[in-house]
Amino acid sequence: MGKKLLEPLQAGSMTLKNRIMFPPLTTGYEERDGSIGERSLGFYERLAKGGVAYIVIGDVAPVRTASPTPMLYDDSQIPAFRRLADALHAHDSRLALQIFHPEYDVPGVGRLIMGAGAARKAAAEAKAAGNEEEFEKQTQQAEKMTKDAYAKLRYEMQHFATEATTEQLARIRESIAQCAARAQKAGVDAIEVHGDRLLGSMCSEMLNHRTDEYGGSLENRARYALEVVAAIKKAAPALAVEYKLPIITVNQDGSLRGKGGLLEDEAVAFAKMLEEAGVDMIQAAQANHTGNMGDTIPPMGDVPYNWTLPAAKRIKNAVNIPVATVGRVITVEAGEQILENGEADMIGYGRSLLTDPDIAVKTAAGECIRECLNCNKGCVDAIQNRRYISCVLNAENGDETTVCIRPAETVKKVAIAGAGIAGLEAARVAAKRGHQVTVFEKDDKIGGQIHLAAVPPRKSEILRAVTYYEKILPSLDIELKLNTEPSAGELNQYDAVLVAAGAHNMELPVPVENSNVVSSWDVLKGAGVTGTCAVLGGGLVGTETAEYLAAQGCKTVIIEMMDKIAAGESATVMPLITKDFEKHGVEQHVNTRVKEIRDNVIYAENTKDHTEITIHADTIVNALGSKKNEFDVSGITVPVTYIGDCSGERTADIAAAVRSGYHAANAL
């Protein structure tokens, strides 16, 4: 498997050693001034070491913006990109910069944001000097300018394509061309034109309402994008040019997904124009500009695998240049099939390469690959919350220069008690380091709580986390003992013990009398419930349990003490939950504290206005959270380290569990 995926590809002047592409993702790894620092360099170099042929740096701004993205607007920034290019070339990887300009007046928004910053600084100085009146004045000024900046930004994201003057468009086009020229000086191999954002808005029939030469027909709406391509080719003739072509797809319910970009028929016609304009490769991608990143980077269970592939296939059939496809291509097998079928020439593995940067070298060696869950927890959520991205399953993301699996100085016999995700990751890392590992698991299968997490609607893909360990453990020096709880005497035969004892559903902290109460864990394990179900606790587990019960046909009520449910859920998943709750009529009570439960009646009060609330239910589901399991260490004389759920006062999510196991095993 992987024969076609490892074949070389020619894209203009650029030779790619295989068909694996890291598409543009906003990482947050850049320095505050947008330059490529050690963290960025380490991340991209790690991808190159893993065999990725084509690496695209996302959202490189050709002007100084307030956005936390890479920037190349000044010659002083060239050396940092030169260093990156040299590092990737050392591994025979090719580097592209995705040049983008936001769909708003960057200098105008920037002046407001800088003005707000200056006012905040003046306010701080006034406060330090004891001038309360000036402090209030400057604080109000800062708040007003910040509010004005975001109002201008939001308005222009919808209207800039229509209202931008031809002079503004000319200046932007020139800034993009100058950025491309700097990229050429830096030794970069290609420019990816960001067909979303401003260019996608200009092309869009929905967003572009101009009446001049840039509006109306497809030819007019596409004119500016083609002018940008021509300017790039003139400014940087030695570079290959790839175009990210945003396509407005159609959801299963018939609604449109995306606003900027083009509907499929126009996208095919535009692709032909791009080929004629000298573009060397096209990336067929989902159109953005929707306000929800879940539309472009959808979470598990939302859309079919490879959902943009039909559009990519049509474009491939219409042009003679290579076409790349992106969007939920999870596995090597899926990518290989796409290439075998001639549906695309290049496979973009975005989130997948966060999960496992070694897809190429492992494919060549026939080794097991860790596959992305499409959970969006560590990657997309981070982008939206201005944090650096990482994968919940990969403890090395963003720290590649300092964190790696180190060979053991002294080989040890290591016992791991518990085969949940923390225990499994610890076993993998310890064995990779050269230790002799034995895993004890009291149940008849590995994976722990992942099996429960996979039960609610749209969540089955999370089982890939367990499948990976089922595949890789037999290839390592690991003995797995299922249905076994080790004694202190057994554990004392080892040099070190890692305890991954997990957690359990916590007890209800309120009086309960003569009522049918079950735990969320029991429900997700298959305990039969019918009628009206009241779920106590609107955290992630409670919300998913409520969604599961509603899908089973139960009338469902969810009760949460905070002011909203699923506070820690991904912003790309929440719209799906909300839609599902509306569909099934799930009743929500937030700001609600349960006082007691008697005769299947929940007596509660609203914490805001202190009104009494009475809720009748056939089944009451305790989803208030989990509590770590205690592990009896009496009689154990060798060093013990706790990992995963049982390692702290708070239980661990999947990311924390993986990192806990990884670091503990790496420290042995």
- Whether 501 contacts 418, CB under 8 Å: yes
Query: Which helix H or strand E contains 579, and what residues bound it?
Result: helix 574-584
Query: Which helix H or strand E contains 472, and what residues bound it?
Result: helix 464-472
- Whether 538 contacts 604, CB under 8 Å: no
DSSP 43-94: HHHHHHHTT-SEEEEEEEBSS--SSSS-B--SGGGHHHHHHHHHHHHTTT-E
Give the separation between CA 358 and CA 218, rounded to whole angstroms: 41
In the residue annotation, 598 being an active-site residue is answered as no
Side chain identity at residue 335, one-letter code: G
User: By 3-state DSSP, what share of the chain in percent is helix, strand and coil, each rounded to 5?
Assistant: 40, 20, 40
How far is residue 10 from each of residues 22, 84, 233, 245, measured CA to CA in Å?
Answer: 17, 22, 18, 19
Count CA atoms closer than 13 A to 496's CA, side-chain side: 18
- Secondary structure of residue 558 in the 3-state scheme: strand
Give the separation between CA 658 and CA 190, rounded to whole angstroms: 36
- Among the listed residues 46, 197, 221, 223, the single catalytic one is 197
R_g of the chain, CA atoms, integer Å: 27
- Whether 48 contacts 87, CB under 8 Å: yes
- Whether 194 contacts 100, CB under 8 Å: yes
Q: Give the pair of three-digit tokens for residue 25.
A: 């993702």
Look at residues 591, 628, 633, 586 and name the one whose alpha carbon lies nearest to residue 608.
Answer: 591
Give the separation between CA 345 and CA 342, rounded to whole angstroms: 7
Give the separation between CA 656 and CA 422, rounded to whole angstroms: 8
What are the phi and psi torsion angles at 617 (to 5°)? -150, 145
Q: Which residues are catalytic?
A: 197
